[in-house]
Copies of this chain bind each other. A is one copy, B any other.
Amino acid sequence: VSEYSMKNHAALMERAKKVVPGGVIGHAALAPAAHPRFYHRGEGCRVWDVDDNEYIDFMCSFGPNLLGMNHPRVERAAAEQRALGNCFTGPTERWVELAEELVRRIGYADWALFQKNGSDATSLCLTLARAATGKRKILVADGAYHTTSPWGNPSKTGVVDEDRAHFLYYRFNDLESVRRAVAEAGDDFAGLMVSPFKHDAFVDQELVDPDFARGLREICDAHSALLMMDEVRGGFRMAPRGSWESLGVHPDVAAWGKGIANGYPLSTVVGTESLRPIAAGLYSTGSFWYSAVPMAAALETLRVLDEDDVVAHITKVGTEFRTGLDSLAKTHGFALRQTGPPQMPLVLFEDDDGFAKGTFFTTDALKRGIFLHPFHNMFLSAAHSSDDIAQTLERLEASFAELARAVSDGSL
């Protein structure tokens, strides 16, 4: 513990503040002030910050690192493509192969289009819904995060009212609230966007009620509106072929991203046959959207996903993590609220105003080489072994003990 230092970090942040507004903005800044912002290297489930502090990483870059950092097979496939070239005036063979793979893999997918960011994909779904239906109103879950574009940015700074003119809001897992929003949309209901489970930051996660999922499908069908799924965060961690595959509820169109190419920048929209001519008529493009290296990386990532049965593995180690945390918490007199799927765990302390306990606990854990998040869901990867989880829990025992001491001596 004594070796833990943030000296380089502080110096780098001083430099950063001179040339980047706030030093670091975006999701990396969504962490307690004492948490590191700057990283130096990574390998598997381990990352080292700019002070060479080593962590077992439970954030996986907020999702992209599905198999762990610098995965040998993915890097080899990427390197082979890179030798041929990455960014051309159009696509390569990889474009076709990856679209074929997604259509083969995802039951409802008859076609795919490629982008870079999750936001590109979710925004394209809206355009598609409006183009396909000739209607305008979009329903999204209250508090859900689908984009940083003005239509859905959590901040309203610089956003004009018109950016959200045609959005109506429902509550996740509450069909009555959906029906109210649909009634309000009247004959202008173009589509409804939903995440495979509720994974908003700061609050408990919520798995989907199968009746809710089926109800959404029925409501959208009854109104000739598109059911749009935002798989950007949950996709390939919940299930390898679509998060609601086991429910038998299929969206008309879905946005995928983050983990699809194990850290290489790529997102995709997949959709059903009837939407194909509409999708073909959209002008949707970007300077780097044809790039072949991320597509080669995605093809290999999806191969590994299947061959190594990654979803089963991360569910198993996520459950070990969850069970171990619960047991440690109980031993030290704490109650945890652990929600969401075990492979994307959110861990909140009961009775924890302002996340004071969570912040103390995760900050102490950093000094013991464990990187957690106090109020955002975390992510498991294929690189997390049962040994890594055991080592994590062993170290977190001390963090629970420190937390108990801080609570009992009144410093928290």
Q: Which of A26-45 contact B (CB under 8 A)?
A: 26-28, 36-43
CB distance from A17 to the nearest CB of B (A): 9
Q: Which of A154-178 contact B (CB under 8 A)?
A: 154-155, 157-160, 162-163, 165-166
Closest to A286 in B: B117
Produce 1/0 per residue, A280-303, CB < 8 A to B: 111111111111000000000000
B283–A153 contact, CB under 8 A?
yes
A154–B41 contact, CB under 8 A?
no
In the bound complex, what is the Cα–Cα distance between A42 and B290 (angstroms)?
14
Closest to A64 in B: B87
Q: Which of A92-100, A212-220, A360-368, A383-391 sits within the interface?
A: A92-100
CB distance from A60 to the nearest CB of B (A): 8
Q: Does A85 contact B (CB under 8 A)?
A: yes
Interface residue from B40, B149, B157 paired with A281 (Cβ < 8 Å): B157
In the bound complex, what is the Cα–Cα distance between A112 and B95 (angstroms)?
32
CB neighbours (8 Å) of A291 from chain B are 263, 265
Q: Does A130 contact B (CB under 8 A)?
A: yes
CB neighbours (8 Å) of A342 from chain B are none
Integer count of this chain's copies in the complex = 2
Q: Does A88 contact B (CB under 8 A)?
A: yes
Chain A: interface size category: 35 or more
What 9 pairs across the A-B complex have the smallest Cβ distances?
A26-B285, A28-B90, A127-B158, A131-B158, A21-B280, A87-B263, A22-B280, A21-B279, A265-B288
Which residues of A are interface residues toward B (Cβ below 8 A)? 12, 15-16, 18-22, 24-28, 36-43, 47, 50, 57, 59-65, 69-70, 75, 82-93, 95-96, 99-100, 102-103, 110-113, 116-120, 123, 126-131, 136, 148-150, 153-155, 157-160, 162-163, 165-166, 232, 257-258, 263-265, 267, 276-291, 371
The 27 listed contacts between A and B (C-beta, < 8 Å) are: A15-B100, A16-B95, A16-B99, A19-B96, A19-B103, A20-B95, A21-B113, A21-B276, A26-B290, A28-B89, A38-B93, A39-B90, A39-B91, A40-B84, A40-B92, A42-B84, A42-B88, A69-B87, A86-B264, A87-B263, A87-B265, A116-B265, A117-B286, A154-B283, A155-B283, A258-B287, A265-B288
**Sample of 4 further A-B pairs with CB below 8 A, known A40-B93, A117-B288, A127-B157:** A19-B110, A39-B89, A127-B150, A155-B283
